[in-house]
Amino acid sequence: MEITLTREDAEVLRNFLRQKIVEMDTEINRTDSLAFKSGLREIDTALERVLSELSAALDIPRPTSPAVRR
């Protein structure tokens, strides 16, 4: 699957995912139910994977225009 985002939207999404992962980790640590904790860990792993892919894509340098020779 491929999704096209503007750089600005991708940066917003990356920041959102970072925030939600921190919240998810806190929830996992506070949860007593092992079944619920396991489900949260699966979601957390998926979010981490998406964040990693998104960050890698954003870290690729933007193509620049070739220098104009005079």
Q: Give per-residue pLDDT as tens, 21-63.
A: 999 999 999 999 999 999 999 999 999 999 999 999 999 776 6
34-to-9, 18, 47, 61 alpha-carbon distances in Å = 35, 24, 20, 43
Collect all residues with Cβ–Cβ distance below 8 Å to 17 and sequence separation of at least 6.
47, 50, 51, 54
Collect all residues with Cβ–Cβ distance below 8 Å to 58 and sequence separation of at least 6.
7, 10, 11, 14
Q: How confident is the model at residue 64 (pLDDT cuts 50, 70, 90)?
A: low
pLDDT at 14: 96
For the cut 50, the answer to whether the pLDDT of residue 70 exceeds it is no
pLDDT at 2: 87
